[in-house]
Amino acid sequence: MSDALARRDERDLRDTMVDGSELHARLAKTWGTGRGLIAALSTVDHKIVARRYLVTAFVFLFLGGLSAAAMRIQLARPENQFIGPDLYNQLFTMHGTTMMFLFAVPVMEAVGIYLVPLMLGTRNIAFPRLNAFSYWVFLFGGLFLWVAFILNIGPDVGWFAYTPLSGPQYSPGKRTDVWAQMITFTEIAALATAVEFIVTILKQRAPGMTLDRIPLFVWAILVTSFVIVFAMPAVMVASTMLILDRLIGTHFFNPSEGGDSLLWQHLFWFFGHPEVYIIFLPAAGMVSSIVVAFARRPALGYLPLVLSLIAVGFLSFGLWVHHMFTTGLPQLGAAFFTANSMLIAIPNGIQIFCWIATLWGGKPVFRTPLLFVLGFFFIFVLGGLSGIMLASVPIDTQVHDTYFVVAHFHYVLIGGAVFPLLGAVYYWFPKITGRMMSERLGRWNFWLAFIGFNLAFFPMHLLGLQGMPRRVYTYQPEMGWGTLNLLATIGSVILLISFVLFLWNVVSSNRRGEIAGDNPWDAGTLEWATSSPPPPQNFDRIPLVTSREPLWAERGPLPVVGGLAVDMRQVVVGTVTEARPILRESSPEPSIWPLFAAIAVGGTFLGSIFTPWAVVWGSIPVAITLIGWFWPSGSPEDEK
Amino acid sequence: MKAHRLAEDLSALPTYGFGTSMTMWWGTLGFCALEGMGFALAIGAYLYLVHVNAQWPLADVPPNHWPGTILTIILLASIWPNLQAERRAREENLPAVRRWLIVMCALGALLVAIRFYEFTQLNVRWDQNAYGSITWIILGLHAAHLLTDLGDTAVLAALMFTRHAKGKRFSDVEDNAFYWYFVVGSWLPLYLLVYWVPRW
């Protein structure tokens, strides 16, 4: 360092005063996570938190998958004795709850937490401590559920826990309490993350990234976050009412005291249907990223794609009653929800056409990520078609609660979310780890998953039409469902093998994969402008965005802005529409308090299952930890 | 990392601002939106229960509205000192900010006390029937907001008496005041629901 620089006031060193490796090293020190256990538990780096989120969510995917495999073995032949009815009830509840609440939503948020700040050209997510808190809450909520299952108090009332079955009269004991409190608790994580995304996307975009230059994946996360903000409170209100009915004798869902069981269904599905789109929309964003990168051209129909995302977000709130067609609703209501359920196929269809047209007009490179996207087209469209069938009240009435519905939503969810997610892992793995995944294993992974999935779930359509109800632990030989069930079980084993292969590919590529470099796919968005894996500060200088695909527009040196502090954490904050820079706002430094706060909140929730007084006494540690979190430490980030 | 060229210098930008310029303001708005959604759903649940029951309220007498009415008047009156705290914060007038934050703490404590009394005047228990349950949960949801806002304001007031009371802390005071408007505004429909729908 030069003498002139050394003499300068170190507390206000700007990135215009240093350059090259010195700038890089200083920023990495400022934004880095220290060594040791305390530092690891205190980190607020969005990339580290996202990696933890990803690993945890995939662990839950495997747990949910293994519970499905156990059910499939049980159903492989009639009157099988592998699993009894009680464990079977717990297994399908654990499977659904885990997949929806502990895998699908968190994994989509995890990908967003990793990528959104990078795609926007900023250095951390907004409210990074809240982000760390949300991870701990998610982890504790998931552990809570699975430890309860191991202790034989796993919930057994299905993932939507209909009353009166889940009420105090028909489900005594702690099993449903565990479910209700786990739901309320983990949804805190989803809501917190949604607020972080909204603020990051609206306020922390790189200068020049106007609304019409936001990457499609980021648009998808933004719309998803708004859907979360308006949908998730419904399940929190519902699960809170359920736990109150069970623990302190309220009567929200008790018809004999003026309550109503259908109130539960309304509140649950007001959340539950948007939930499907909370899972699907980020996946649509992943598909857009992959299609553009591998078609080697910008998206055809950026505007229709964005408007479709927004339309789906809105329409997702007008569908919930189609889960309740057999409850005896007024016809007019049913007609409205039928119309809406069919209407939502239009924006989804527009997206599919835009993607196909983009590929058609480009020079597609068929690598593994694109294979998964093509698999997504096939499976998701089939799921959409059976969805349109189910939107019709007469058909729905016939196949309600049968395997036809099970087939439909697995086509939509695995096709619509898991296939794009696997493609996304192959696509962004090089950015996260610095190494490529094996292409050969990737192709095996894809074809086994595609064949296994269809073999497992297509027969379920037929089983449903033949009248096989869902959630039965066995069936009699004379029903004639044995062959199709055996076929489904064989398919599920192949699907499981594909996931083992995926896991092997991740683990081995992480160690020995080919070195990726900054931009192995020659993609156009900002996450590929930084090194792989990115340094703690993401970018040495904040990019100045001039185009929708900045790296394609700027083949030479990337234009950047300067003037941010080097020795303290600062991010550029801009205007909502134009992303015109207005502030150099400080970004919080690491803190152990979010972990303590999550422990305090988690302990309160756990205690509340045993006594309502836990809420009163638990509020004391919660308040202490929150004060610890917010009280300034005297760091420059806190004072400037 | 890709090579770059400096195109613009942001050195002159301030490090904090007020209102919509700050991320915290938007974060507060986000939480107002999701909590507001919680209130809206509770209102929906209340009206749903009114709809499915032939008689409403499911009690002999409706709640005594006077404690709630007094609370509503104080809540509405609190907008003025809250506005003062907000404006003085924008001016970065520390002595005035301290004064108005203390006023807001005192008002918050008074409101929490009245809220506790309100629960005793509902003329129905939470475990009596669905009407009691929904009335208690609505009042409880809003009580949680009064309590947490009192906590926030007290901590912030204490902070403004320390060496940290400078710069962006004034922006925090402004955001805290902004959240109070939400606490006041969200109460008004709940007040009508809890005290006047049973009299309708």
DSSP calls for A376-410 = HHHHHHHHHHHHHHHHSHHHHHHHTTBHHHHHHHH
Q: How far apart are CA A88 and CA A94, in angstroms?
A: 10
- List the beta bridge partners of residue B8: A561
Set of chain A residues whose Cβ sits within 8 Å of the Cβ of B20: 576
Q: How far apart are CA A115 and CA A136, in angstroms?
A: 20
Q: How far apart are CA A582 and CA A574, in angstroms?
A: 5
Q: How far apart are CA A58 and CA B46, in angstroms?
A: 39
Does B93 have pLDDT greater than 80?
A: yes
Binary contact (A558, B34; C-beta < 8 A): no
Query: In A, residues 204-243, which contact B (CB 8 Å cutoff)?
Result: 204, 207, 229-230, 232-234, 236-237, 240-241
Does A333 have pLDDT greater than 60?
A: yes
Lowest average pLDDT, out of A6-15, B35-44, B71-80, goes to A6-15
Binary contact (B133, A250; C-beta < 8 A): yes
- List the beta bridge partners of residue A570: A586
**Average of per-residue pLDDT across A457-484:** 97
Residue keyed to tokens 């857009």 = A288
Q: How far apart are CA A108 and CA A459, in angstroms?
A: 29
Q: How far apart are CA A393 and CA A265, in angstroms?
A: 17
- The partner residue sitting opposite B26, judged by closest CB among A199, A558, A559, is A199
User: A605 near A240, Cβ under 8 Å?
Assistant: no
Please give the CATH architecture assigned to the domain spanning B24-50+66-199: Up-down Bundle (1.20)
Query: In A, residues 598-617, which contact B (CB 8 Å cutoff)?
Result: none
- The answer to whether A573 contacts chain B (CB < 8 Å) is yes
Q: How far apart are CA A523 and CA A202, in angstroms?
A: 24
One-letter identity of residue A30: T
Q: How far apart are CA A51 and CA A36, in angstroms?
A: 18
Binary contact (A250, B6; C-beta < 8 A): no
The residue in chain B having the minimum alpha-carbon distance to the alpha carbon of residue A570 is: B15
Q: How far apart are CA A188 and CA A197, in angstroms?
A: 14
pLDDT in tens, A19-55: 899 999 999 999 999 999 999 999 999 999 999 999 9
Does B74 have pLDDT greater than 70?
A: yes
**Average of per-residue pLDDT across B15-23:** 96
Contacts with A142 (C-beta within 8 Å, 6 or more apart), sequence order: A56, A60, A98, A102, A186
Beta strand A570-574 with A558-562: parallel, antiparallel or unpaired?
Answer: unpaired
pLDDT in tens, A472-516: 999 999 999 999 999 999 999 999 999 999 999 999 999 999 999
Backbone angles phi, psi at A166, to 5 degrees: -85, 0
Residue A637: its pLDDT value, please? 84
Backbone angles phi, psi at A492, to 5 degrees: -70, -30
Residue A331: its pLDDT value, please? 85
User: Which of the four pLDDT bands, split at 50, 70 and 90, describes residue A5?
Assistant: very low
pLDDT in tens, A201-236: 999 999 999 999 999 999 999 999 999 999 999 999
Helix (H) or strand (E) holding A263: helix A261-295
Q: How far apart are CA A129 and CA A145, in angstroms?
A: 25
pLDDT in tens, B35-44: 999 999 999 9
DSSP A14: B
- The partner residue sitting opposite A241, judged by closest CB among B5, B53, B137, is B137
Helix/strand/coil for A532: coil
Residue A10: its pLDDT value, please? 55
User: Which of the four pLDDT bands, split at 50, 70 and 90, describes residue B113?
Assistant: very high
Comparing A367 with A1, the larger pLDDT belongs to: A367
Residue A569 CA, distance from chain mean position: 28
Q: How far apart are CA A636 and CA A639, in angstroms?
A: 5
Binary contact (A583, B15; C-beta < 8 A): yes
ipTM of the complex model: 0.96
**Average of per-residue pLDDT across A595-601:** 98
Residue A9: its pLDDT value, please? 52
Residue A1: its pLDDT value, please? 41
Residue B1: its pLDDT value, please? 80
User: Which of the four pLDDT bands, split at 50, 70 and 90, describes residue B97?
Assistant: very high
Residue A206 CA, distance from chain mean position: 24
- The partner residue sitting opposite A627, judged by closest CB among B27, B129, B155, is B155
- The answer to whether A584 contacts chain B (CB < 8 Å) is yes
**Average of per-residue pLDDT across A575-582:** 97
User: A358 near A297, Cβ under 8 Å?
Assistant: yes
- The partner residue sitting opposite B23, judged by closest CB among A207, A585, A638, is A585
Residue A95: its pLDDT value, please? 98
Question: How open is the CA angle A315-A316-A317, to the nearest 5 degrees?
Answer: 85
Helix/strand/coil for A565: strand
Comparing B60 with A457, the larger pLDDT belongs to: A457
Q: How far apart are CA A556 and CA A575, in angstroms?
A: 28
Q: pTM of the full predicted structure?
A: 0.96
Reading phi first (left if > 0) and then psi (alpha if -120 to 50, else beta), residue A561 is in beta
Residue A389: its pLDDT value, please? 93
Averaged confidence pLDDT in chain A = 95
- The partner residue sitting opposite B17, judged by closest CB among A24, A561, A583, is A583
Contacts with B80 (C-beta within 8 Å, 6 or more apart), sequence order: none
